[in-house]
Every structure is written in structure tokens, then in C-alpha cells.
Amino acid sequence: MKTKSYSPTPHNLRRLAAALQRGELVAIPTETVYGLAAHALDARACGKIFKAKGRPTNDPLIVHVLDLAHAEMLADFNEPARKLARRFWPGPLTIVLPRKSCVPDIVTAGRDTVAIRSPSHPLTRRLLRVARIPLAAPSANLFGYISPTSAAHVLDGLDGEISAVLDGGSCTIGVESTIVDLTDPKRPRILRPGAITAQELQRILRTKVSERSIRAKGAEKNTGLIAPGMLSQHYSPRTPLIIKAGWSTAQLPEVAQIFLRKPAGRFARNVFWLSQRGALTEVARNLYRVLREADHAGYRQIWIEALPDGSGGLATAINDRVRRAAAKRQRGVP
Ligand code: TXA
Ligand code: MG
């Protein structure tokens, strides 16, 4: 199968919508990362996602919808969940709620909950409008590897595995959505940190939002299921990645060196940076692209500068991804 990259003409959007309705896979741009989409109510189509990514079937998928009205067809909403959807959708927030019976088991990995979000990327919203179906979509990378933030990244991992990618340019946020579990409306829990922070959720819900599970290391060992968003090794380059503080660019030409901000003065090819001046939005937007570039350049190791812990906000999400990317490979993860 040859993978084709499509520009967003009205004709192409109609073609891709028809392909999705027929049960084919299409990689789609979102504001966070690219997703690998299939018709969410078609179990066979969703099965292809797991095959293409090499993803274990006990890791459930996020369903993408146009708005709250469509989301309510798939899940049992409570008032706190509606409040969050009204405030943060379309946007980088995924809400976990009890599922309705129309959602296939393969999407939820047999759980009685479903994860839903309404993406803000204008092209994917146009696609959702034309296709008129919900789209199940995990990130469009091989399982365990760095998430894609451009159409070229998608092809890098999945060329030949899928028929189409919709090219929507580079993702503006760059790290995956915040996942909040509202199955128990009295006890909201963040399962994965993202651009929407615990503080922002708390302000709307007026209750404590727990982040406990983020640090529950090794939790996947204790259950048969993969604890959502909690695989301790994930988002990883193939080159060993080491988190470091305080070193100078002059050292070690065989090591790719990733700094938070562009270093001053002259430096060699092995020096990379995540932002001009350290802005966290820019760091998040560039993180996966720079990790990929460093990984592809054939260095023995990659060093990445540590972000101060406890800076809160987007730093929590960035630190979470960098830590997982640097965690030692576990058995069974490619
Ligand atoms: O920003 C994003 O969320 C991107 C874009 C494409 O929307 N998607 C994404 O999907 O990051 P993925 O599959 O790479 O991560 C989805 C996470 C997984 O950790 C999965 O375990 C969790 O969502 N998840 C899915 N369904 C769940 C459920 N019912 N309960 C708890 N966690 C769930
Ligand atoms: Mg992923």
C-alpha cells in the first residue's frame, strides 16, 4: 500500500471522509499531535489502527467528535463534564466517562468508560463535519515511539501501513491532550497532563482535581490492563536519552545536545534547542520534532536539559513526556 499525503482541498476532504466512512485509516492533524483515525463505530476499522501502530489491544483509543452534542451520543455525561466541555472544547482536553453501548469494545479495550475529545484543528473539524462520524484516533506513530507533529513524521513511521494522511501543517501545541477522568463526578482525576492544567480544571469545577496517578510509577505492572497514560516508558527515541542539568556546548561531539533555549555564541551541529528564549509553549511545540531530528542524526546518546520541577502549568506535561521518553525500555516495547 502506498501512503498518499493530501492537501486540504474540498475535493480531498470529501475523498478522505468517504475513505473513513468505508472503514479505511486516515492520519489527521490535530492541535496536539497527528492522530491515526478510523470510524469509531466500526470495530473492524478500529482493529486496523492497532495493527498499523503495533499497539496492544488493551490500550484504549480516544474518540474525536465535533462537539458536546455528538459526544453525548457516545457517553453518559454528568454536569461537571458538561461544564468542562463547554469551557475547553474544541481544544486539548479528553474526558473519560461511562460509555454508551454503541461504542465498540475494541475502542474502550473492554472497559465501561470511553475517552472523548473535540479537537480544534480547523481541517479535522471540516473532516468531521463532512464525514459525520466519530473518529477513534490514537497518536499516529508506531507504538512507544515519539508522537508525530507533522505529516512528514506520520509518513516516517507509517508509510506503507496506511493509505492517507491529511496534511495540516505543524501542530501548534505539540504534546498530547490532558486526560481527565470524570467517571466519578465528585472525584476528577488527571490521567495524563497536557496543555490544560489541573488549576484550570479546578477553577471551572470548583473541586480538587487529583494528579496522583501521574506519578504512580510502574502501575501497569499491577493490573492486566495498561494503566492509561501511565506507561512509564513511552514517546521514546531509539537513541538512549539522558536528562541532564548544566553542561556546556563544547563537550562531546558524538552526543546530540538538546537545550531548552538557543545557546549564545557559536556551536557545532550536535547542538539543538527547543525554544529561542525558553517560552514553555515553544518548548512543547518543538519537543517531539527536535527529539526526532536528534534521533535520526545517528548520535551515540541524546542529552536533554532538565526543566525545573514544580514550575507547574505546561511544564508538568513537558516533564512527564521527557521523563517517559528517557525511561529505560521495558520488555515487549519495541
Ligand atoms: O492529543 C491527543 O490526545 C492525541 C490526539 C490524536 O487527539 N491522541 C492521543 O492518543 O494521544 P493516544 O492513544 O496516543 O493516547 C490515548 C490515551 C492512552 O494513554 C489511553 O490509555 C487513554 O488515552 N485512554 C483511552 N481510553 C481511555 C479510557 N476509557 N479510560 C482511561 N484512559 C483511556
Ligand atoms: Mg500515543
99-135: per-residue pLDDT in tens? Answer: 999 999 999 999 999 999 999 999 999 999 999 999 9
Residue 42 lies in a domain: yes
Question: How confident is the model at residue 183, as a pLDDT?
Answer: 98
Same domain, 168 and 282: no
Distance 281 CA to ligand 2 centre (A): 20
Distance 29 CA to ligand 2 centre (A): 14
Question: How confident is the model at residue 93, as a pLDDT?
Answer: 98
Ligand 1 atom 22: the closest Cα is on which residue?
228
Question: How confident is the model at residue 217, as a pLDDT?
Answer: 47
Same domain, 108 and 173: yes
Ligand 1 atom 32: the closest Cα is on which residue?
228
Question: How confident is the model at residue 228, as a pLDDT?
Answer: 52
Average pLDDT over residues 272-276: 96
Residue 218 lies in a domain: no
Same domain, 30 and 163: yes
Same domain, 260 and 192: no
Instruction: Tell me the average pLDDT of the chain.
Output: 91
Domain count, the chain: 2
Task: Among 179, 190, 233, 285, say which to mutate for ligand 1: greatest number of ligand atoms within 8 Å of CB.
Answer: 179
Residue 314 lies in a domain: yes
Same domain, 150 and 64: yes
- Closest C-alpha among 119, 162, 147, 235 to residue 2: 162
Q: What is the pLDDT of residues 15-49, one digit of tens each?
A: 999 999 999 999 999 999 999 999 999 999 999 99
3-state secondary structure string, 11-80? HHHHHHHHHHHCCCCEEECCCCCCEEEEECCCHHHHHHHHHHHCCCCCCCCEEECCCHHHHCCCECCCHH
Task: Among 94, 106, 166, say which to mutate for ligand 1: greatest number of ligand atoms within 8 Å of CB.
Answer: 94
Same domain, 205 and 254: no
Ligand 1 nearest atom to the CA of residue 194, by list position: 1
Nearest ligand, CA of residue 107? 1
Residue 195 lies in a domain: yes
Question: How confident is the model at residue 313, as a pLDDT?
Answer: 83
Ligand 1 nearest atom to the CA of residue 94, by list position: 3
Residue 217 lies in a domain: no
Same domain, 105 and 198: yes
Same domain, 54 and 120: yes
pLDDT of residue 218 exceeding 60: no
Same domain, 66 and 138: yes
Domain containing 308: what range?
A: 241-330
Task: Among 66, 125, 139, say which to mutate for ligand 1: greatest number of ligand atoms within 8 Å of CB.
Answer: 139
Residues above pLDDT 70, as percent of the chain: 90
Same domain, 165 and 272: no
Q: What is the pLDDT of residues 287-325, one digit of tens each?
A: 999 999 999 999 999 999 989 876 778 999 999 999 999
Question: How confident is the model at residue 224, as a pLDDT?
Answer: 44
Question: How confident is the model at residue 247, as a pLDDT?
Answer: 81
Same domain, 191 and 245: no
CATH number at residue 188: 3.90.870.10
As for ligand 1, residues whose beta carbon falls within 6 Å of it are: 30, 32-33, 35, 59-62, 92, 94, 96, 108, 111, 113-115, 119, 137-139, 176-177, 179, 191, 228-229
CA 34/CA 25 separation, integer angstroms = 13
Nearest ligand, CA of residue 317? 1
CA 11/CA 241 separation, integer angstroms = 43
Task: Decide which of 211, 230, 249 is a domain's last residue.
Answer: 211
Residue 227 lies in a domain: no
Ligand 1 atom 10: the closest Cα is on which residue?
138
Nearest ligand, CA of residue 94? 1
Question: How confident is the model at residue 250, as a pLDDT?
Answer: 67
Residue 224 lies in a domain: no
pLDDT of residue 227 exceeding 60: no
Nearest ligand, CA of residue 175? 1
CB contact at 8 A, 94 and 71: no
Task: Decide which of 211, 232, 266 is a domain's last residue.
Answer: 211
Question: How confident is the model at residue 215, as a pLDDT?
Answer: 46
Cis-peptide into 92, omega within 30 deg? no
Nearest ligand, CA of residue 172? 1
- Residue identified by cell 475523498 is 15
Residue 236 lies in a domain: no
- Between residues 310 and 186, the one the model is more confident about: 186
CATH number at residue 263: 3.40.50.11030
Ligand 1 nearest atom to the CA of residue 108, by list position: 29
Question: How confident is the model at residue 223, as a pLDDT?
Answer: 46
Question: How confident is the model at residue 255, as a pLDDT?
Answer: 94
pTM of the model: 0.94
Task: Decide which of 166, 196, 211 is a domain's last residue.
Answer: 211
Same domain, 76 and 202: yes
Residues above pLDDT 90, as percent of the chain: 82
Question: How confident is the model at residue 252, as a pLDDT?
Answer: 85
Distance 268 CA to ligand 1 centre (A): 38
Question: How confident is the model at residue 256, as a pLDDT?
Answer: 95
